[in-house]
Chains A and B, each alone.
Chain A
Amino acid sequence: AQKVTQAQTEISVVEKEDVTLDCVYETRDTTYYLFWYKQPPSGELVFLIRRNSFDEQNEISGRYSWNFQKSTSSFNFTITASQVVDSAVYFCALKGGSQGNLIFGKGTKLSVKP
């Protein structure tokens, strides 16, 4: 079975704090892909990153960084020096190699207060 768990339902931080959003996944596929999406209050889905199962290198993009660890089936997302504009719901998603669709976690609502 394929599953994505985002245990943190809501997180509230003060601007400039660092924050890590957790994502744990389950799959039996040896080839799979992991994603993070941002859903701001306006409702659209904004693609942030895709990772494939063969590439465990961590990635940094500006204030965003991702830590992929196959040993713990985790793909965590860290925002450094958070800003109010980072306030959104963040979704982690999984696509197994044998399926077409994405499987989403329930999301983590991040509130960044000034």
Chain B
Amino acid sequence: NAGVMQNPRHLVRRRGQEARLRCSPMKGHSHVYWYRQLPEEGLKFMVYLQKENIIDESGMPKERFSAEFPKEGPSILRIQQVVRGDSAAYFCASSQYSGTLSYNEQFFGPGTRLTVL
């Protein structure tokens, strides 16, 4: 039973380029969460998605960042025109169903380390 998969594990981009981070949830999981970990900091929530729906994007920067979780395929976190401040580790977590009214365990992927030169 494969865990949450993220790719690439490491991504290097130059300023102004686009970064695409992929997350494949665990089998049977239909909810995905993205978190960002800046250097020397804890994880900060960015966005929570269900298949084809954004449930909560309150932690997402207003510009340049977008996320999707299509009916088929992985969830994608897209960062346009990257800047040095986007350098961070981006973690994805998945859960089986809604986590709002009851606990539902989130399983974390290994993260994607984005470096912007």
Hey, which bits of chain A sit against chain B, CB under 8 A? 4, 6, 33, 37, 43-45, 47, 50, 52, 91, 93, 95, 97-107
Contacts and interface: CB of A to CB of B under 8 A. Distances in A.
Given A50-B105, A104-B42, A104-B44, A99 B100 contact: yes
Contact of A98 (B41, B44, B89, B100): B100
B103 A100 contact: no
Contacts of B55: 100
Interface of B: 31, 33, 35, 41-45, 48, 55-56, 59, 89, 91, 93, 98-103, 105-108, 110-111, 113
7 pairs of A and B residues whose beta carbons are closest in the complex:
A104-B42, A101-B45, A100-B99, A45-B108, A104-B43, A106-B42, A100-B48
A101 B56 contact: yes
B93 to A, nearest CB: 8
10 contacts: A43-B111, A43-B113, A45-B43, A45-B111, A50-B103, A50-B105, A97-B100, A99-B100, A100-B55, A105-B42
